[in-house]
Amino acid sequence: MHISVNVDGVTYADEVEPRLLLVHYLRERLSKTGTVVGCDTGNCGACTVHLDGHSVKSCQMLAVQANGHEVTTIEGLARDGKLHPVQEAFHSNHALQCGFCTPGMIMQAIDLLADESDPDDETVRKGLEGNLCRCTGYQNIVRAVQDAAQRMKPGAGPKQEQHSDEHVPSQQPVGGE
């Protein structure tokens, strides 16, 4: 079947078998291997992506069901080489051990923060109920999500940008003027 799907801002037109799972389409056809297959049974949430702005498990969906829709993967979060605030928070809070669950955790955390801008500990744990970390590194994941909430608060933006600006010179080529 012919499908047209917007993934991370780019529209792809492809011929796919109806039985192709969305996660396999992303990984094998579009080479978006940032989205991983964890359990293959719909439990672990490692394959979480956003479909029209809401988190879904891409192993629980057929690629044809995404026809005409927008998909965002972990690879579509960074802007102009700058990580998403949730990615930054996971990085600075050491919210990963082996890192396999991280793409799904981050995608679900972003979804959670869209509904709950300042979640308490319990709300974060409930919101990440569909994501498993087999390293059991949950403490720092919860901390990272709460840290991300602070980074994303209204008013936190300018400070964030200022923070980034400070780092820009080091990324500039040496020399010049």
Partner 1 sequence: MIPAEFKYLFPSTVDEAVRMLAEEGEDAKVIAGGQSLVPVLRMRLAAPTALIDIGGLTELTGVRDDGDSLLIGAMTTHYEVQRDHLIHDHALLLKLVTDTVADPQIRHRGTFGGSLCHADPAGDLLAPALALDAVMIIAGPSGRREVSASEFFVDYFTTALAPDEILLDVRVPKYTGWGAHYEKLNRVAQAWSIVAVAAAVRVSDGVIAAARVGLTNVGSGPVRAVEVESALVGLPATAESISAAAGRASTGDGYKDNLARVLTGRALTAAVG
Interface residues with partner 1 (CB under 8 A)?
Answer: 1, 17-19, 21, 24, 40-43, 45, 48, 51, 54-57, 59-62, 64-65, 67, 108, 111-112, 127, 129-131
Report the residue number, 28 or 166, with the smaller CB distance to partner 1: 28
Residue 104 CB, shortest distance to partner 1, in Å, is 9
Report the residue number, 17 or 121, with the smaller CB distance to partner 1: 17
Residue 48 CB, shortest distance to partner 1, in Å, is 6
Report the residue number, 112 or 144, with the smaller CB distance to partner 1: 112
Report the residue number, 107 or 152, with the smaller CB distance to partner 1: 107
Three-state secondary structure along the chain? Answer: CEEEEEECCEEEEEECCCCCEHHHHHHHHCCCCCCCCCCCCCCCCCCEEEECCEEEECCCCEHHHHCCCEEECHHHCCECCECCHHHHHHHHCCCCCCCCCHHHHHHHHHHHHHHCCCCCHHHHHHHCCCCCCCCCCHHHHHHHHHHHHHHCCCCHHHHHHHHHHHHHHHHCCCCCC
Residue 25 CB, shortest distance to partner 1, in Å, is 12
Residue 26 CB, shortest distance to partner 1, in Å, is 15
